Amino acid sequence: MDSMGFSHWLVVLVEAVIVLLLLLLVIGLVVVLMTWVLDRNQTSNSVLRNFPVVGHFRYGFLRLGEFFRQYLYSSDREELPFNRAQRMWVYRAAKNSENTNAFGSTRDLRSEGVPFFVNAAFPALDGHHVEARPIQIGPYAREPYDHAAFFNISAMSFGALSAPAVRALSHGAAKAGVWLDTGEGGLAPYHLEGGCDIVFEIGTAKYGVRTPDGQLDEQKLLEVCAHKQVKLVSIKLGQGAKPGMGGLLPAAKVTAEIARIRGIPEGQDSQSPNRHLDIANVTQLMDRLNHIRELTGKPTGFKAVFGDMRMIEELCDEVHRRGIESAPDFIIVDGSEGGTGAAPQTLMEGVGLPLHEALPMLVNTLIERGLRQRVKVICSGKCITAYDVAWALSMGADFVNSARGFMLALGCIQSLQCNRNTCPTGITTQNLKLQRGLVVTDKTEKVAHYARNVMREVGIIAHSCGLEDPRHLDRTHCRVVGDDGLSVPLVQLFPYPEAPRQAG
């Protein structure tokens, strides 16, 4: 092509670009004009009515603000629900990276509520950490369960989580020797895939073991419990994110597979009842616990959020009337700070006791009624780091469950989109394109590393306190900073009962 021909086509291209830009400008002006007219005449929003068009920038900034704060403006210790320092601790533990720091901690050790542990003057010389011994759950069940790991994966259902996320948790749990709680969504093949121990949760809608009218289908329950991996059965009475309200799985997440596993219609919102249809009081709860334990042979307990201990006191009285073998094999106490499930802000922030109150109240009540050795206590509620878990063991927990800790190990970036089916890391979405970002083989290793490293570092704390087992931590080994900046022992804040007493 000669130079004149090239110049001609260059002129044509420039003219085409100019025409396109003018066209876009005209379209943009028309859109702005229409938006101005609509904003000026609508009656629902005062800002847009007074400041048409430009008022929309406010909502864009509000939406983007949480992300700018997280990455650019917030300090390491000021975010909620988990600050950057906590998240980075989990990320390093999951990557099995060096988890040491230099030049001192950025944690304010004078801030109210901060726990720290009382080291022994002369710790043992043999190593730097101690390991937990197995303890038995359900001595009166046909298949008692012996389990050593004190840090396990809390209830998160398939549906709320994606299939790759559940698969990674299953494989990682098996590698680390921890259990995986199915959550209320039923038992999926992905839970079993890795070969880990399973806690099967029966939610209020009885997903996976329900009749068409929402009652318990005993044959389906027997089929679930026929799997040797299923070690415990948990009846869910409530969860920390929304006490008194059933779970909600949005229609966008109810795929054909999830609908089949749960036994519900595809593509419709899945709302669980706020309580079990067949459990309206302590007597009925005890009846169901004993029936399911006898039916399945598995240790059986329940999960609840507590507002006070009256229900537990009634339960202890009922146990003493029926006999020690009738007691629940375990109780999972969920603090009101739970949050993996979609929930109304009012319930999430204002109903139910937080774990730091509910856990010692439950333990003390069981001690008072002489049932502490019989009933194992499992807790959950924002315990994601080693000192969180060590604090819970000091308070009296036998086992500590974590949901969001393991989500962070899977790669969660706290984008706060768990309820929108738009999770950018593929963890809490049923969108196949977004799920592609979660590589099961990689995340399996991170789940296992995280569980092992949490337990190892709790073992370091216990060793430093001069103990031979992390479960030997008690309220004399942990101090908590008060509002005056001075610490007091946990045993002073939450004294142990003087002596067990019998009910009735």
What rounded mean pLDDT belongs to the chain?
88
**CA–CA distances in Å: residue 209 to residues 206, 262, 286, 290, 435:** 6, 8, 19, 17, 27
Q: What's the confidence (pLDDT) of residue 155?
A: 93
* 253-275 average pLDDT score: 87
Asked if residue 436 lies in contact with residue 259, where contact means CB atoms within 8 angstroms, the answer is no
- CA 145 centroid distance within chain: 23
User: Residue type for 165, please?
Assistant: A
d(CA 499, CA 280) in angstroms, rounded, equals: 32
Average pLDDT over residues 75-97: 77
Are the C-beta atoms of 341 and 311 separated by less than 8 Å? no
Mean pLDDT of 271-284: 91
Q: Look at residue 76 in the predicted model and tell me its pLDDT.
A: 60
> Is pLDDT above 80 for 68?
no
Chain centre to alpha carbon of residue 249:
16
Give the pLDDT mean for 402-431. Answer: 84
Find, among 452, 461, 350, 374, the residue nearest to 409 by Cα.
Answer: 452
Distance of CA 227 to the CA centre of its chain: 25
Q: Which of 219-228, 255-264, 417-426 has the highest mean pLDDT?
A: 219-228
Amino acid identity of residue 332, one-letter, is: I
Which pLDDT score, from 0 to 100, does residue 1 have?
Answer: 54
**Predicted TM-score (pTM) of this structure:** 0.86
CB 356 within 8 A of CB 379: no
- Reply yes or no on whether the pLDDT at 500 is more than 80: no
Judge contact between 160 and 487, C-beta under 8 A: no
pLDDT for 392? 97
pLDDT in the model for residue 504: 39
Per the structure block, which two tokens stand in for 459? 């073992």
pLDDT score recorded for residue 428:
86
pLDDT of residue 359: 96
- pLDDT for the residue numbered 197: 97
Give CA–CA dist 481/458, Å, rounded. Answer: 20
Residue 210 pLDDT > 70: yes
What is the average pLDDT across 103-123?
Answer: 82
**What one-character-per-residue DSSP string does 277-318 give?**
TT--SHHHHHHHHHHHHHHH-S-EEEEE--SSSHHHHHHHHH
Region 205-215: mean pLDDT is 91
Overall average pLDDT of the 27-47 stretch: 86
Structure confidence at residue 62 (pLDDT): 65
- In terms of Cβ atoms closer than 10 Å to its own Cβ (0-12, 13-18, 19+), residue 381 is buried
pLDDT at 226: 97
pLDDT tens sequence across 307-331: 889 999 999 999 999 999 999 999 9
**Which residues 6+ apart lie within 8 Å of 292 measured at CB?**
202, 221, 233, 235, 298, 300
Mean pLDDT of 274-302: 96
pLDDT of residue 213: 86
Mean pLDDT of 45-70: 73
DSSP H or E run through 179: strand 179-181
Confidence of residue 503 (pLDDT cuts 50, 70, 90): very low
Compute the distance between CA of residue 115 and CA of residue 17 in angstroms, rounded to an integer.
Answer: 65
pLDDT of residue 340: 62
Nearest Cα neighbor of 276 from 211, 205, 221, 337 is: 205
Q: What pLDDT is recorded for position 429?
A: 87
Higher pLDDT, 5 or 399: 399
Tokens for 155, please give them: 């209830």
* pLDDT tens digits along 459-482: 999 999 999 999 999 999 999 998
Closest CA to 91 of 428, 425, 434, 436: 425
Per-residue confidence (pLDDT) for residue 35, from 0 to 100: 87
> What's the pLDDT tens digit per position in 231-247?
999 999 988 767 777 77
Which residue reads 């038995």 in tokens?
Answer: 136
The answer to whether 208 and 264 have CB atoms below 8 angstroms apart is no
Provide the percentage of residues in the chain whose pLDDT is more than 70.
91
Using a pLDDT cut of 90, give the percent of the chain over it: 56
Locate 378 and state its tokens: 């499992």
Span 338-351, mean pLDDT? Answer: 69
The pLDDT tens digits for 148-199 are 999 999 999 998 899 999 999 999 999 999 999 999 999 999 999 999 999 9
pLDDT tens per residue across span 131-150: 999 999 999 999 999 999 99
Q: Which helix (H) or strand (E) holds 31?
A: helix 3-41
